[in-house]
């Protein structure tokens, strides 16, 4: 069986060394020494000024909306994981969808201004598959209309734009450290901001809004993470270069072996390197996609229609909205297996099956 993804696991003894320390200290959660160490390590690696380690990427988005005190409409993308939209609704705001660019698959910045109303308070955009949005254009629009910007960078760990961390853009950026991600802490998330006052507020929100032994500063949530998850994060960070290099090899092999297959790859943002969080392809037709998916499944090879269907039409708690480009792309996009242990021989096998399916 070749799954669509599989978590990277470091040598067990490396993780066990940290577990022994947790046992000795008996400090299991509530921002223990390992959680604090991981925050410092990640700040250094990602080249950011302020960073919080939180429960998961979804909580990070909720905390971002709460910290910015957003109440009205939030412009967002229909081509993302459901949490991008559900957190907006969960926090009592209204998602307003803007269609995507058919080449990058990120929100089309040229269409954002047309969606702005008197009730618009923010833009929440996703760096799809780690591919940066047009952060420069979005920043200009936000400044012009006095809007806040949140980036869902769940897939964008380690991505830079012109040598600057992707997490330095926007008022707040969030990241998922779920086990399926390029870099993970089993369960976990990050939230970053360049604003020290906003960081202080986010830190308080993460801990129930507690500001002292017997005082509260605001409405909070339990957004903390455990020492066990932090330990995995610390160990995995030591292997990040190895992980990225292997994924690049796999992506290069797919690129080589899928020549002649009727598809295209998302256009990556200029002056930014692909972190290969996923290997998505846009196939010429939904019919060919479904045929390939069926053949691969019969050969015990997992794939994922990620993201399908469009969030603008699929969610039962929202009125459906037609998004022509997203509707079209979401029917034709397929993520192929991508994980550290995937062999180049397995990639070759996947590509042979797809080419054979197309030519039959």
Q: Which of 237, 271, 301 is the last residue of a domain?
A: 237
pLDDT of residue 360: 87
Domain-located, residue 230: yes
Judge whether residue 123 has pLDDT over 90.
yes
Two tokens at 199?
A: 């960081």
Two tokens at 62?
A: 């909720």
pLDDT of residue 201: 97
Average pLDDT value for residue range 183-206: 97
Residues 161 and 251 in one domain: no
Residues 216 and 270 in one domain: no
Average pLDDT value for residue range 12-20: 97
Q: Name the DSSP letter for residue 281.
A: E
Average pLDDT value for residue range 286-301: 98
Q: Are the CB atoms for 191 and 171 separated by under 8 Å?
A: no
Residues 130 and 267 in one domain: no
Domain-located, residue 7: no
CB under 8 Å to 315, separation ≥6 — which residues?
82, 85, 86
Total number of domains in the chain? 2
Residues 198 and 78 in one domain: yes
pLDDT of residue 213: 82
How far apart (Å, rounded) are the C-alpha atoms in residues 349 and 330? 25
Q: Are the CB atoms for 17 and 350 separated by under 8 Å?
A: no
CB under 8 Å to 329, separation ≥6 — which residues?
79, 100, 102, 105, 282
Alpha helices in 8-129 (DSSP H): 12-25, 33-46, 57-67, 82-90
5 CA to centre of own chain: 15
Residues 140 and 41 in one domain: yes
Residues 231 and 264 in one domain: no
CB under 8 Å to 293, separation ≥6 — which residues?
303, 305, 334
pTM confidence score: 0.97
φ, ψ for residue 255, nearest 5 deg: -55, -45
Burial 244-274 (b: 16+ CB within 10 A, else e): bebbeebbebbeebbeebebebbebbeebeb
How far apart (Å, rounded) are the C-alpha atoms in residues 353 and 37? 46
Q: Are the CB atoms for 284 and 292 separated by under 8 Å?
A: no
Judge whether residue 71 has pLDDT over 90.
yes
Give the range of the structural domain holding residue 275, as residue numbers without chain letter.
Answer: 240-359
pLDDT class of 214 with cuts at 50, 70, 90: confident
pLDDT digits (tens, 9 = 90+) for 231-264: 999 999 999 999 999 999 999 999 999 999 999 9
Q: Which of 237, 268, 298 is the last residue of a domain?
A: 237
Q: 324: domain CATH number? A: 3.90.1150.10
Residues 252 and 123 in one domain: no
CB under 8 Å to 328, separation ≥6 — which residues?
102
How far apart (Å, rounded) are the C-alpha atoms in residues 279 and 268? 12
């Amino acid at each position: 069986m070749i799954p669509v993804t599989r978590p990277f696991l470091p040598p067990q003894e490396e993780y066990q060394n940290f577990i022994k320390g947790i046992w000795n200290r008996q400090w299991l959660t509530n921002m223990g020494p390992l959680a604090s160490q991981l925050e410092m390590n990640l700040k250094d690696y990602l080249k950011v000024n302020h960073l919080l380690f939180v429960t998961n990427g979804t909580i990070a988005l909720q905390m971002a909306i709460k910290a910015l005190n957003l109440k009205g409409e939030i412009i967002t993308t229909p081509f993302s994981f459901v949490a991008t939209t559900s957190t907006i609704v969960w926090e009592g705001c209204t998602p307003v969808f803007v269609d995507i660019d058919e080449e990058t698959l990120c929100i089309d910045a040229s269409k954002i201004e047309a969606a702005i109303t008197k009730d618009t308070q923010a833009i929440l955009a996703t760096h799809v598959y780690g591919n940066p949005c047009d952060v420069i254009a979005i920043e200009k629009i936000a400044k012009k209309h006095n809007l806040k910007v949140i980036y869902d960078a769940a897939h964008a760990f380690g991505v830079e734009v012109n040598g600057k961390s992707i997490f330095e853009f926007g008022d707040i950026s969030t990241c998922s450290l779920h086990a399926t991600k390029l870099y993970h802490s089993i369960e976990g998330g990050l939230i970053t901001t360049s604003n020290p006052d906003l960081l202080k507020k986010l830190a308080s929100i993460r801990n129930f809004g507690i500001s002292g032994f017997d005082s509260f500063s605001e409405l909070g949530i339990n957004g903390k993470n455990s020492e066990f998850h932090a330990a995995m994060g610390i160990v995995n960070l030591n292997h990040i270069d190895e992980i990225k290099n292997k994924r690049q090899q796999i992506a290069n092999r797919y690129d080589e072996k899928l020549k002649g297959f009727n598809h295209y790859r998302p256009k990556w943002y200029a002056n930014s390197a692909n972190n290969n969080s996923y290997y998505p392809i846009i196939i010429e037709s939904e019919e060919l996609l479904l045929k390939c998916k069926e053949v691969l499944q019969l050969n015990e090879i997992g794939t994922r229609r990620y993201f399908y269907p469009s969030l603008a039409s699929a969610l039962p708690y929202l009125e459906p909205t037609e998004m022509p480009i997203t509707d079209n792309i979401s029917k034709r996009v397929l993520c192929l297996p991508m994980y550290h242990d995937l062999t180049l021989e397995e990639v070759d096998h996947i590509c042979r099956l797809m080419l054979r399916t197309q030519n039959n």
